[in-house]
Amino acid sequence: MREMETRKGSISVLMLPWLAHGHISAFLELAKRLTEKNFFIYFCSTSINLNSIKKMLPEKYSPSVQLVELHLPSSPELPPHLHTTNGLPPHLMRVLKIAFEESKPFFSHILNTLNPDLIMYDFNMPWVSASASLLNIPSVLFFSFGSLFISFAFRFMENPDAEYPFQSIQLHESEKTSLKAMLEFSTNGVKDVDLILESIKLSRDVMLIKTSTEIEEKYIDYLSMLVKKKVQPVGPLVQEIVDKDEDTEVMRFLHKKDESSVVFVAFGSEFFLSNEEREEIAYGLELSRVSFIWVVRFPVGEKTTVEEALPVGFLDRVGDLGMVVEGWAPQAKILTHPSTGGFVSHCGWNSVLESIKFGVPIIAMPMHIDQPLNARLVEEVGVGVEVKRDETGRLDRKEIARVIRRIVVEKHGMEVRNKARELSEKMAMKEVEEIDEVVEEMVKLSGKRK
């Protein structure tokens, strides 16, 4: 068999990420790095996700990465094209989690057939580690969240009233309520918090985490103390840019603008703004008088046009100052363009690391889950400024405009930009060392298998 020939002399790893784009992309980037160190990767996910992965995987990696389909039980409520969180209607999230858990027997069959040297699994699937232990295969948990969020959540799970020991990082009461609701979400009577704790407990000797010691060293150390395991950073794992010179309308827009004069506005692939949030951001951009590229997205099936979604006359008033793109834009290419001077971001962890990697200051506008904590970290390390909400948690257009101008127009922006570039260089230098340490840990673990 081709895969048996390919993996001869290499360490084989079976990877199973959660069915969300941010998790899949983190695992895939780690897979790429490991193939360069003589690892062979079995990458397991549902058919709909594997179709996307094929597009994200450059040809040079295909001999060392084999895609393996995980079959989920199909139902009229959850047909195969919904076996992913991307575009999934919120009311079906619980149904998807149940279907994922019900794939255990099929995963066990995959495990028995492939017999890998090592397994990497995600934050919410202790059953993967339990299945692996029956075959005496070591398994390692890989978190695609940052150390600050994991350590804060871990401490919060132990005692919601306890103060987090780092005073610069705190949550507002409404954010604590949101975090508590997320952690207590249950599937088939089992809370997510219990799945996370069990996943941590079952990880063999070490836990991998998508971060860099250059931005999170004290939080990595603190998390290690809390979980009583080594916490090994794997670096930012930012995807390499392809087709850099592609001539698109977005790139042509940027080519016409002055250096560091444009803000890129995007809120990730799986979060959708409310009408009120979209309106405040629109007016904030208009008030700022700063050039912008704004990616506006709608849930699958929502019959709304960009013109209908934005304030009346907005596109005419901003004219050539701004560009609104529906659905998708080449984020990495935009962030690396010299005309880009800031990133209005929800502070999803992937976006934070990508922005730091490319040395672009962040205008932080967190929405939920780990994002508020990521935004506090962005301010703490000096690579961005958070847009403050009012006492009811609402965004304010004047505050949005103020922070955008502070980053792009005013003197403070130059300081933040210099800090972002400095941190980018330090993180890049550390990345090679961190991957080498990951390899060392994985070799050690696979050698323990009897």
pLDDT digits (tens, 9 = 90+) for 204-240: 999 999 999 999 999 999 999 999 999 999 999 998 8
**Do 222 and 209 meet the contact criterion of CB atoms below 8 Å apart?**
no
pLDDT of residue 14: 97
Q: What's the confidence (pLDDT) of residue 450?
A: 38
Report the b/e string of 266-289 with b at 16+ CB within 10 A: bbbbbeebeeeebbbbbbbbbebe
Please say if the pLDDT value at position 397 is more than 60: yes
Mean local confidence (pLDDT), 159-184: 85
Confidence label for 7 from pLDDT (cuts 50, 70 and 90): low
**Is the model's pLDDT at 449 over the cut of 80?**
no
Q: Is the whole-model pTM more than 0.85?
A: yes
Residues designated catalytic: 23, 122
Total length of the chain: 450
| Structure tokens belonging to residue 154 | 């871990």
- Tokens 């907005």 belong to 314
pLDDT > 80? residue 300: no
Q: Which amino acid is at 267?
A: F
Report which listed range, 170-174, 270-274, 430-434, is most confident: 430-434
- pLDDT bracket for residue 5 (50, 70, 90): very low
Higher-pLDDT residue of 272, 45: 45
Query: Residue 305: which pLDDT band, with cuts at 50, 70 and 90?
Result: confident
Q: What is the pLDDT of residue 299?
A: 74
Q: Mean pLDDT over all residues of the chain?
A: 90
pLDDT value for 245: 52
Q: Is the four-CA dihedral 401, 402, 404, 409 of positive or negative sign? A: positive
| Pairing label, strands 340-345, 39-45 | unpaired
Rounded mean pLDDT of 6-17?
83
